[in-house]
A and B are shown apart, each in its own frame.
Chain A
Amino acid sequence: MTAPVVELRGVSCEVGTAPPRAIVRDVSFSVGPGETLVLLGRSGSGKTTTLKLINRLVDPSRGAVMVAGRPTGALPPYRLRRGIGYVIQEVGLLPHLTVAENVGLVPRLERWARERIEARVRELLTLVGLAPERFAERRPHELSGGQRQRVGVARALAVDPPLLLLDEPFGALDPITRAELQREFKGLSARLGKAMVFVTHDVREGLLLGTRIGLMQDGRLVFLGDAGEFRRSPHPEVRAFLEAAA
């Protein structure tokens, strides 16, 4: 068994004081290379917060979060984050930068040479199905939702991080574009061999893309297993999700 890329051990996260409110409670899981863990749950179930605990946009109150075998607190947050690809819905692209500048942003922060950034940007745009000569100089508002999301994925892959965090990346797309991107994403993730944590509230998307599915309810991870186990699980929240999708 290979070492996990990301591992959570008994992680809780509380916000506010008097009384503190727990949004993540005692969550444990690990994700290895080539694995996609889908975190499924209703709005407010704590799945996005769990994702942000991994790249320290949120700090845990208790428990340990490890990335590549090291506690996330061991590095300055910006160092940690540059080694983790992060894809979010819509707003993730910077509106004042071109597509090429958006994709090349983390390499630029890492002070790569210009030619190296340009070559990498071309390579990535091609990888996500956007012809560099047509798209490199456009700005995000000149793209369709699906194209923007492709740019978002390209950007997350820029420095070839071993771990990708995706927060409802296809949530704002129309159903047809969404299905198209899901198919491509599945192919891409199989080829890239990255560890991924993918947050969604769409159970069909979860079953399609996840090697494993973690279902969250009220901050707890109430189910963790593969698609077959998910379908057979008697847990009421699992049943509720499956019935809603049927």
Chain B
Amino acid sequence: MNLVRFYVDNAREVLGLVGQHLLLVLVSTAVAVAIGVPLGILLTRRPAWRGPVLGLANVFQTIPSLALFGFLIPLPLLGGIGARTAIVALVVYGLLPIVRNTYVGISGIDPAVREAARGMGMTDGELLRLVELPLAAGVILAGIRVATVVGVGTATIAAAIGAGGLGEYIFRGVAVVDNTLILAGAVPAALLALSADGLLGLLERRFAWR
């Protein structure tokens, strides 16, 4: 009940933080897709790069988020306090699932399908656009889904470096030992993660061929 009253009293602030949170996740996921999908495609063309690239992405993935924020802050251009640093970190986290799933999705296509498409006279570009990407779409979307859900979670921590978002309430609530305030941030953050997962899951199912 306290929570409901809190939302009524602070509606504008709450919406602002939800908006910030969404923006952090949307921008970082969009950038991660824009880098990750082409990179994943490149790995299917240059299999020798697969080990180093996925390994590096894996290393980044392993660094705890708060530590990664810490590493980024002193960096010029990418770092500092605020949303920009948070977005850089979120992109880094989102890359691995997207690159890996793009690579796995495309290289998992039946080689006979690829050969049939070539046999019909498709160029490399047509093969990618008309066969490989549509057939791998489900797997690629699954990667984007993981990246998004992880992004919603990690974005709550971004409040620690002044990036805003629903983590504001959580950190503030922890600092002043106020459960209502903690829940005010935690509940909508959890709901965001669940709905992002559900929506992308629906989209993913549309691309299940056969």
Given the interface contacts A95-B135, A96-B209, does A57 sit within 8 Å of B122 by beta carbon?
Answer: no
Judged by a CB distance under 8 angstroms, whether B121 is at the interface is yes
Task: Name the residue in B113, B118, B121, B130 with the highest tally of chain A Cβ atoms < 10 Å from its Cβ.
Answer: B121
Bound complex: CA A96 to CA B117 (Å): 13
Bound complex: CA A106 to CA B117 (Å): 10
Given the interface contacts A94-B131, A96-B135, A141-B210, does A88 sit within 8 Å of B122 by beta carbon?
Answer: no
Task: Enumerate chain B residues within 8 angstroms of A88, measured Cβ to Cβ.
Answer: 112, 116, 119
Could you tell me if B115 and A57 are in contact, using CB atoms closer than 8 angstroms?
A: yes
Judged by a CB distance under 8 angstroms, whether B9 is at the interface is no
Task: Enumerate chain A residues within 8 angstroms of B134, measured Cβ to Cβ.
Answer: 96
Judged by a CB distance under 8 angstroms, whether A36 is at the interface is no
Given the interface contacts A95-B135, A109-B126, does A78 sit within 8 Å of B113 by beta carbon?
Answer: no
Contact of B119 (CB < 8 Å), options: A79, A86, A93, A139: A86
Contact of B121 (CB < 8 Å), options: A78, A92, A95, A139: A78
Considering only residues 119-153 of chain B, those with a C-beta below 8 Å from chain A are 119-123, 126, 130-131, 134-135
Interface string of A153-176 (1 = CB under 8 A from B): 001000000000100000000000
Interface string of B181-210 (1 = CB under 8 A from A): 000000000000000000000000000011
Given the interface contacts A88-B112, A94-B131, A96-B135, does A78 sit within 8 Å of B123 by beta carbon?
Answer: yes
Could you tell me if A94 and B126 are in contact, using CB atoms closer than 8 angstroms?
A: no
Judged by a CB distance under 8 angstroms, whether B13 is at the interface is no
Could you tell me if B122 and A86 are in contact, using CB atoms closer than 8 angstroms?
A: no
Contact of A109 (CB < 8 Å), options: B113, B122, B135: B122
Could you tell me if A55 and B209 are in contact, using CB atoms closer than 8 angstroms?
A: no
16 A–B contacts, CB within 8 A, in A order = A77-B121, A78-B121, A81-B118, A81-B120, A83-B121, A86-B116, A88-B112, A91-B110, A91-B112, A91-B113, A91-B116, A94-B117, A94-B130, A95-B210, A96-B209, A109-B120
Interface on A for B, CB 8 Å cutoff? 55, 57, 77-83, 86, 88, 91-96, 105-106, 109, 139, 141, 155, 165
Which A-B residue pairs are the 7 nearest by beta carbons?
Answer: A82-B121, A81-B121, A86-B119, A91-B112, A92-B116, A95-B209, A78-B121
